[in-house]
Structure 1
Amino acid sequence: MIYCEGLVKIYKTDDLEVVALQGLNLTVEKGELMAIIGNSGSGKSTLLNTLGGLDRPSAGQVKVGPWDLLKMTEEERVSYKRDTVGFIWQNNARNLLPYLTALENVEMPMMLSGKLDRAYAMQLLEWVGLKHRIHNKLHQLSGGEQQRVAIAISLSNRPELLLADEPTGSVDTATSDMIMNIFRKLNKEIGVTIVIVTHDMTLASQVDRVVAIRDGLTSTEFVKHNPEIGSHGEGFVSLSAHTSQNEHVAYVVVDKVGRLQVPREYLKSMDIKDKVLMEFDGEKITIRAPHKVQTEE
């Protein structure tokens, strides 16, 4: 569904150039439910905007289904945003029109594309648990209810890809769990591919896969533990066994030329600064701090 290789995004002003993505690689399968995590400034929101057709990539490859986002015309970009992708923003002001009812908000994108389907709009609101709220306006809905209306709106154009930017960032834990339950249900029942951008690592236990972005690059990946698969896979180096806390295995992503980004906290805990000792015994690779080797000798 999504294929990124060497994806670069550079923002330029008259006197400033910011490299937000600097060669990012990412693959997302059709029908997958996954999350992208990272600190502020890591590039995760830039990636979301690029996948959504809001930002044009600067270089590299980025494809969503049959669409080549680097080469598409502006007219094709409009069609892509209208027909292929759905958005959910953290800020409800970007999702909802306050003077419309919940039902009218869901119907608005349909009207703009000339495909009004009231029955489907009502079904969407029922799916997100708001059948009894269809005629309420925004001021009559809680923050969590507004976010659920936003989910219904994002599906009104029957997208193949749903992009959610911090969808649980402004709600309490109970509402967050409810929203994630809705995502899982929609993913399972209608097969929509869902990519959630967040800084909340606790979402790892609620999605199939988590990809961490650091400094504009894919760094670490967490996938649900499957004993039949084991700890090895093409393009990954296992960092640890699965944890009982969320039953995920952590991986470092290896790019085409063999580079890998070991998480900073791992290096810090081993007091590794600028270089490491790497050993290969035919079955596994071991990374150690050079000074610890000298001490052992």
Structure 2
Amino acid sequence: MIHCEGLVKIFKSDNLEVVALQGLNIEVKNGEMMAIIGNSGSGKSTLLNILGGLDRPSAGQVRVGEWDLLKITDKQLVQYKRKTVGFVWQNNARNLLPFLTALENVETPMMLEGKVDRAYALQLLEWVGLKERVHNKLSQLSGGEQQRVAIAISLANRPSLLLADEPTGSVDSATSDQIMDTFRRLNRELGVTIVIVTHDLSLASKVDRVVAIRDGLTSTEFVRRNPNLDEAASFNLNQVHEEYVVLDRAGRLQIPRNFLEALNIDGKASMEFDGEKILIKPPNSLEGNK
């Protein structure tokens, strides 16, 4: 569904250039539900905005389904945003129209295609657990319920990709669990690919795979070892996930900076192969043993 290789995004302001993504590589399979984690400024939201068609990439490769987002025209971009991708924001004010009911909010994007499918809108609200709240105005809904309306809206035009930017960032843990369970149910029932950007590693037990971004680069992946894990169980990274270093097509490793700093590696490192393992050491480690 998603293929990014050497993805670069540079923001320019006057004489200042900020490199938000500096050669990021990532693959997302069709029907996968995954999370992208990273601290503020890591580039995760920039990646989501590019995948959502809200920002243009500066260089590299980025494909979503049949669309090449580096070469897409403005007219094609409108069709891409209408039909291929759905977006859920952390701030409900960007998702919802407060003077409409939950049902009317879901039906609004359908008007862009000239046909309102009320039966499907009702089905979406039932899927997100709001069957009894379809005629409620937003002021009558809790923050978690509003966010679930937003999820239904993002699926109104049957996109194949759903993007969510910190969807649980402004709710309590119990509501967060409800929202993540909603994403999982829709992922299974509709087969929609879901990418969630978050800084909260505890969400990792709710998805198939986690990719960590540091300094605009894909650095490590955590892959779920037990797909039958009880989703209500408490999260333990050591028991549930295995960490991988990303290897690109040129054979380059992107090693987390904190690992390198712990070994005082900066710029160069010595490397050995013992027939089973590749050992990376500080360049002076061998000299110090002589």
Counterpart residue number, 1:263: 256
**Which sits farther off after the overlay, 183-192 or 263-272?**
263-272
Counterpart residue number, 1:249: 242
What SS does structure 1 have at the residue aligned with 2:26? strand
Shift of 1:115: 2.2
Q: Distance in 1 between matches of 2:106 and 2:80?
A: 19
Counterpart residue number, 2:276: 283
Q: Which amino acid aligns with 2:112?
A: L
Q: Which amino acid aligns with 1:252?
A: V
Q: Distance in 2 between matches of 1:58 and 1:44?
A: 16
Counterpart residue number, 2:41: 41
Mapping of 1:4-153 within 5 angstroms?
4-153=4-153
**Which sits farther off after the overlay, 89-98 or 136-145?**
136-145
**Which sits farther off after the overlay, 154-163 or 11-20?**
11-20
Matched, 1:156 2:156: yes
**5+ residue gaps in structure 2?**
228-235
Shift of 1:122: 0.7
Q: Distance in 2 between matches of 1:78 and 1:289?
A: 50
Matched, 1:168 2:171: no
What SS does structure 2 have at the residue aligned with 1:185? helix
Shift of 1:259: 2.4
Counterpart residue number, 2:188: 188
Q: Deviations over 1:194-244 (max 9, x none)?
A: 0001111111111111111111111111111269xxxxxxxxxxxxxxx76
TM-score normalized by structure 1? 0.89
Q: Which amino acid aligns with 1:107?
A: E
Shift of 1:262: 1.9
1:220–1:148: structure 2 CA closer, same or farther, 3 Å change rule?
Answer: same
Q: Distance in 2 between matches of 1:244 and 1:88?
A: 26
What SS does structure 2 have at the residue aligned with 1:23? strand
Q: Distance in 2 between matches of 1:145 and 1:40?
A: 27
Q: Deviations over 1:55-84 (max 9, x none)?
A: 111111111111111111111000000000
Counterpart residue number, 2:230: none
**5+ residue gaps in structure 1?**
228-242
User: RMSD of the alignment, in Å?
Assistant: 1.8
Q: Deviations over 1:143-182 (max 9, x none)?
A: 1111010000001010000000001111111111111111
